């Protein structure tokens, strides 16, 4: 198997698009060699614990309403092409995502990281839910095979909080400054939301190399 490390944030629209493209490629290559692990990268590590109004956040980040609209036009365009129906108008809060990353971390221990990541993207971008809310995160956990009561108890504590923050910092220290970023076999960085065709070529090249090594 080949390790595919994915650095992302569940409130990053390009991460949702990039994952969708990757999913399409993996579906078309059912015997793909990837073993996937998700890693934390907070877009807004200094975000207040309770988050902030999304409109205010976007206008502040992009310098006004018009610029925010322009910045999100490519997002909407690429989401449509990927078959994603993002309900961007339904998102009222830009949350702090540290607890969502803790949930992804624990999902990795249970071997269900990717379903949890998918559920968080759906909860935020399709359902407009506040994924910093402990009740929301416990529900995401419960509906994807994790124990809601245990998850809630962990989220109410500081369990693995420092570890997740350290992983976020470690990603920045190795030069990751945007997400999604995919790292293939611990060597080759592939930043951005690339189309399924690129991933299909990557998979085919890896499979060819693996076959050559066996000859």
Predicted confidence (pLDDT) per residue in 15-74, tens digit: 999 999 999 999 999 999 999 999 999 999 999 999 999 999 999 999 999 999 999 999
Task: List, for residues 199-210, the tens digit of each pLDDT value.
Answer: 999 999 999 999
Using the predicted structure, report yes or no on whether residue 153 has a pLDDT greater than 70.
yes
Give the tens place of pLDDT for each residue, 1-14.
Answer: 999 999 999 999 99
Instruction: Tell me how far apart the alpha carbons of residues 85 and 76 are, in angstroms, rounded to a whole number.
Output: 9
Range(s) of the domain holding residue 71 = 2-214
Token pair recorded at residue 42: 């907070």
CA nearest 133: which of 166, 169, 92? 92
Supply the pLDDT for residue 14: 98
Q: DSSP letter string over 118-166?
A: HHHHIIIIIT---TTSHHHHHHHHHTTTS-HHHHHHHHTTTTTHHHHHH
- Domain count along the chain: 1
Average pLDDT over residues 159-174: 98
The answer to pTM > 0.85 is yes
CA distance 19 to 5: 12
CA 213 to CA 207: how far, in whole Å? 10
Amino acid 213: pLDDT: 80
Per-residue confidence (pLDDT) for residue 94, from 0 to 100: 98
Cβ pair 131, 120 in contact under 8 A: yes
DSSP string for residues in 198-209: HHHHHHHHHHHH
CATH code of residue 133 = 3.40.30.10
């Amino acid at each position: 198997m080949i390790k595919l490390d994915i650095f992302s944030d569940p409130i990053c629209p390009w991460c949702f698009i990039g994952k969708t493209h990757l999913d399409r490629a993996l579906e078309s290559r059912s015997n793909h060699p990837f073993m996937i692990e998700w890693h934390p990268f907070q877009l807004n590590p200094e975000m207040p614990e309770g988050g902030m109004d999304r409109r205010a956040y976007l206008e502040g980040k992009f310098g006004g309403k018009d610029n925010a609209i322009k910045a999100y036009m490519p997002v909407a365009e690429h989401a449509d092409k990927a078959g994603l129906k993002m309900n961007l108008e339904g998102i009222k809060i830009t949350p702090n995502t540290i607890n969502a990353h803790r949930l992804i971390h624990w999902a990795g221990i249970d071997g269900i990281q990717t379903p949890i990541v998918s559920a968080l993207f759906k909860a935020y971008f399709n359902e407009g839910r506040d994924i910093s809310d402990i009740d929301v995160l416990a529900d995401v956990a419960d509906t994807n095979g994790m124990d809601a009561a245990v998850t809630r108890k962990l989220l109410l504590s500081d369990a693995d909080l420092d570890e997740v923050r350290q992983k976020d910092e470690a990603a920045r220290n190795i030069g990751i400054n945007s997400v999604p970023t995919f790292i293939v076999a611990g060597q080759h960085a592939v930043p951005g939301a690339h189309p399924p065709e690129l991933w299909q070529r990557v998979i085919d090249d890896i499979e060819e190399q693996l076959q050559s090594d066996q000859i």
